[in-house]
Structure 1
Amino acid sequence: MREYCTCLDSTFLTMAPGVTATTTTTVEEAVVRDRKSALPTQISAVARGDAAGKLKLPSYPAFATKEEERTYVKEHMAAAFRWMGKSGYGLEGVAGHISIRDPILRDHFWLNPLAKHFSLMRTSDLVLVDHSGNVSPHGNQAVINAAAFAIHSEIHRARPDVDAACHAHSIHGKAFAALGRELDIITQDSCHFWGDQAVYDSFGGVVLAKEEGERVAAALGNNRLCILQNHGLLTVGKTVDEAAFLFGAADRCCQAQLLADAAAGGRGGETVKIGEEEAKLTHGQLTQGDVLWLEFQPSYELMEYESKGDTQHQTIPNQTAQLQSVMSAKPTSPVEEKLDAFLSHRPAEAELKEKNILKSSTLPPTLQASEADLKRHQLEDKLNEKVLHRPAPEELEKRGILESGEGPGRE
């Protein structure tokens, strides 16, 4: 067997002369021990930078004031809604909501207004609600979803470690929720929820009563994901970024498991589960520090880019209206007025004869209809060529249309 030594820094090194080994193990034992070793405590462990260590991963920012932090969380909350809309999580009418605890008024939290499409959400749309469910004057003055308050108020009350919660009736989430079971740990992504998920195995209709909200919060426990049987998914996090990312991750894990179970069942087998030790290790790696906040930042940047900023939602330009605006625009200078008048003028037949553009004003009556049509088309072509021709300023001067020295670029 090849031998390795474990030194004081817990790093495995090949045996070499002059190296003092504290323990000698086989390769198999070394691998097992490595898997069980302490996880790194810094988020920087998931990335590599320059040799000097100057390149750093972004992390959740520090704020000079609570007002600055409030602006930040509202901007990220609005972007999270737009991302959910883009992901197809806002298709069930008025169902679905995100909440975030207010940094200033800690017994208040922000919610989306009732019947506002996720894809159109702006910071100015967000509603601040107190612990009794009353809309605060410090936010948008709009009604909220009563079910949203019933669920989120009890979660915020029961989980002081949680600042944000996310719930929607996504297609794959509610399909999997109908099974009334937890996710299997069958992929690396599902390790997000190893030992971090629960099932609320009851359904009592739309959650409107305080008691139902309490039961949902109790079922969630200390987990990040709660699968609401016959209903949908609910995720929580320290930041709204974390809660939103976990919701998307959970929904995609539901989709992956539905597909994998169907494929395995069709072959008369079962899916392969990740081992407990490996799942635990991976869960720790995926959820340490600011990793879950960081996971959402690409989506946040995309939402900001697509919406041209948070406060002004951009719509697709009306090209017809733009074209009409251009066509109806008035000339902005005397030179343009003269050019516009010249180009829009359709000369009379006598003027065309005088300028030798037409040889005669009438067609011989002996011409057959087909020949007459051909002749007329030829005359129209000449006329169009005359009308569409944009003369140079020198030509317009010769004709007395422009004064000497006038014209584009000659003022």
Structure 2
Amino acid sequence: MSKTEAQLRQDLAAAYRLASMLGWEDTIYTHFSVRLPGDGEPKFLINPFGFMFDEICASDLIIVDMHGHIIDGNADYNPAGFTIHSAVHMAREDAHCVIHTHTLAGMAVAACNKGLLNLNQISAEFHQRLGYHEYEGVAFNLEERERIQASLGQNIALILRNHGLLSVGTSVADAFQVMYYLNRACEIQLAAAQMASLSPVDTIPDHLASYVSEQFKKVEHERHAVWQAWLRKLDRIDSSYKD
């Protein structure tokens, strides 16, 4: 195993452990993946089906190719996860990491006709950088991959309507940070909706949301520092994800 693969395994396993700490897991469902470097057809690491997020270690991750063949690993994968993640890895060379969640707030906003609203500074980061994919049922149909690709386009995240959230990034750090704040924006929207009967909710005008989104683009390099802070926190609690 190369040093690069070993590091990617540790980073992806860390993302699973952190997601568990943050309450993002859906028992053994939902999935994160990271593409392995190399020429030729893409291959990616993904979680073995049947594991809770808080028990995943670097050595547990399996390698899958774009045809669904397991290249390395002693477990199977979630078929719906393969459809979604392979779709993104096939279409976006810059999307090295893909994170998909079924959080309460994310699924609530995914059920809203207007999707994510510009309610706050956090949601403004996603202004004109967020795609929407119409619900087609559980993603067992490989033909859906083309439509997922079209829905994502060049955006940094995707709301799967009536389903959940998806983020992409050039690294695990990037995709995790995008998901963290996309989910936080959904949590704020859910909280604001609960207060709407008591006080009207104001949205940020589109022109100002565009300005804020551009501001966030200029500090994306800080995601690495945030990721290192997350890793230090995780190491203080439990470093067994590295095994």
After superposition, the C-alpha distances for 1:321-358 in whole angstroms (9 at most, x for unaligned) are xxxxxxxxxxxxxxxxxxxxxxxxxxxxxxxxxxxxxx
Match of 2:159 in 1: 227
**How much is the aligned-residue C-alpha RMSD, in angstroms?**
1.9
Secondary structure of residue in 2 paired with 1:208: coil
In structure 2, what is the Cα distance between the partners aligned to 1:294 and 1:265? 40
- Give 1:309 deviation, angstroms: 4.6
* 1:64-143 correspondence to structure 2 within 5 Å: 67-90=2-25, 92-104=26-38, 107-137=42-72, 140-143=73-76
- Indicate which of 59, 62, 86 corresponds to 1:153: 86
Q: Which amino acid counterpart does residue 102 of structure 1 have in structure 2?
A: L
Task: Give the number of equivalent residue pairs.
Answer: 241
Contact 1:108-1:129 at 8 Å conserved across structures:
yes
TM-score if structure 1 supplies the norm length? 0.55
Contact 2:79-2:140 at 8 Å conserved across structures:
yes
**Unpaired segments ≥5 residues, structure 2:** none
Secondary structure of residue in 2 paired with 1:310: helix
After superposition, the C-alpha distances for 1:122-178 in whole angstroms (9 at most, x for unaligned) are 1001011112111113xx221011111111111111111211111011111001111
Higher strand share: 2
In structure 1, what is the Cα distance between the partners aligned to 2:203 and 2:103? 26
Identical-pair percentage: 29
Q: Does 1:273 align with 2:204?
A: yes
Q: Which amino acid counterpart does residue 86 of structure 1 have in structure 2?
A: M
Match of 1:190 in 2: 123
Contact 2:13-2:242 at 8 Å conserved across structures:
no
- Indicate which of 231, 237, 240 corresponds to 1:306: 237
Secondary structure of residue in 2 paired with 1:248: helix
**Unpaired segments ≥5 residues, structure 1:** 1-65, 313-411
In structure 2, what is the Cα distance between the partners aligned to 1:163 and 1:286? 20
TM-score if structure 2 supplies the norm length? 0.91
Q: Which has the higher relative contact order, 1 or 2, with Cα contacts under 8 A spaced 6 or more apart?
A: 2
Match of 1:285 in 2: 215
- Indicate which of 61, 77, 100 corresponds to 1:144: 77
In structure 1, what is the Cα distance between the partners aligned to 2:142 and 2:71? 20
In structure 2, what is the Cα distance between the partners aligned to 1:285 and 1:304? 32
Q: Which has the larger radius of gyration?
A: 1
In structure 1, what is the Cα distance between the partners aligned to 2:50 and 2:16? 13
In structure 2, what is the Cα distance between the partners aligned to 1:275 and 1:130? 41
Q: Which amino acid counterpart does residue 113 of structure 1 have in structure 2?
A: P
- Give 1:213 deviation, angstroms: 2.5
